[in-house]
A = this chain, B = another copy of it.
């Protein structure tokens, strides 16, 4: 299968590595509008060729993967579908779905598109961030598959089964709600934690000296790029605001318990938080 990947960053680049590693792509064509990233992707061997003309790159592929930030996704996907034939399959790998699916709802080739979200990533970005094994063993969400042609869905299912990934089917509304709860909020808390520590701890050397694994793990996502995350927060704004309000409420509650020295209450809340152990052992 020939695969065109549009956007050779963390996700597009890592998928290129996985597809090649598992023999799922014979030829990999890249489209990357940042010339330095395009050059680096070739140097790293992520793709066999860079094609600058979008329609030409689409036409050479059996499968097209659109792996650009969510704001660009909404504008790139329609011309990709314009250029596609009835034999080709187009997927995205984006973190929000409702806005994207609305943008192509009436497209005459909507059926060739399958909305895909592999639940994997790191705090790094760009082609340098591409790593082997990012997707293997993780969950991939397929959204609103009843809006896609059955043969296109089949191609995508076989592909991700082969990586292998666990397939999960959600409608776009449920996807955006649940990812706000389980993924997007983590990034907000981590950004806020980094801002907090940078604001309070004026001695940067002290952060370096005293940071243990625990701090590093909670603040890791704060290294993530705004170019990736602002469009996600924007497209999933209401769900993110909703879970963020709950988070503010929970933090305020912990603060109040500590303020009034209710240590029994604090213990009870932490025991309740510990319940996450049962879900994520």
Bound together, the chains give a CA A178 to CA B207 distance in angstroms of 8
- Residue A80 is within 8 A (CB to CB) of chain B in the complex: no
Segment of A42-50, A84-92, A148-156, A251-259 engaged in the interface with chain B: A251-259
Please, what's the 1-or-0 string for A191-228, where 1 marks a CB less than 8 Å from any CB in chain B? Answer: 11111111111011011111111111111111111100
- Let me know if A266 is at the binding interface, CB within 8 A: yes
The complex places the Cα of A226 from the Cα of B275 at a distance, in Å, of: 12
Tell me if A16 is interfacial: C-beta within 8 Å of chain B. Answer: no
A60 at the interface (CB under 8 A from B): no
A28 CA / B191 CA spacing, docked (Å): 44
Query: Which residues on B sit within 8 Å (CB–CB) of A39?
Result: none
Residues in B with CB closer than 8 Å to A273 are 190-192, 194-195, 198, 222
User: B258 touching A241 by the CB < 8 A rule?
Assistant: yes
Interface string of A129-163 (1 = CB under 8 A from B): 00000000011010000000000000000000000
A243 at the interface (CB under 8 A from B): yes
Report Cα–Cα, A122/B141, bound state, in Å: 31
Q: Assuming A182-B207, A196-B246, A207-B182, is B168 touching A190 (CB within 8 A)?
A: no
Q: Within 8 Å of chain B (Cβ to Cβ): is A57? A: no
B270/A183 in contact, CB under 8 A: no
Q: Which residue of B lies closest to A120 (CB)?
A: B212
Q: Is A173 an interface residue (CB 8 A)?
A: no
- Residue from B213, B229, B230, B247 in contact with A192 in the complex, judged by beta carbons closer than 8 Å: B247
11 A-B pairs with CB atoms under 8 Å apart are: A122-B214, A186-B214, A191-B269, A194-B274, A197-B243, A207-B276, A222-B273, A223-B277, A230-B270, A237-B261, A244-B254
20 additional A-B residue pairs with CB within 8 Å, beyond A120-B212, A234-B261: A119-B211, A121-B212, A139-B210, A178-B203, A181-B201, A186-B214, A186-B218, A189-B189, A189-B218, A194-B276, A195-B254, A207-B279, A208-B280, A217-B218, A218-B218, A218-B221, A226-B267, A226-B271, A241-B259, A245-B255
Query: Which 7 A/B pairs are nearest by Cβ-Cβ distance?
Result: A226-B270, A194-B273, A196-B247, A186-B218, A191-B273, A194-B276, A192-B251
A residues with CB within 8 A of B: 119-123, 138-139, 141, 166, 168, 178-179, 181-183, 185-201, 203-204, 206-226, 229-230, 233-234, 237, 240-248, 250-252, 254-255, 258-259, 261, 263, 266-267, 269-277, 279-280
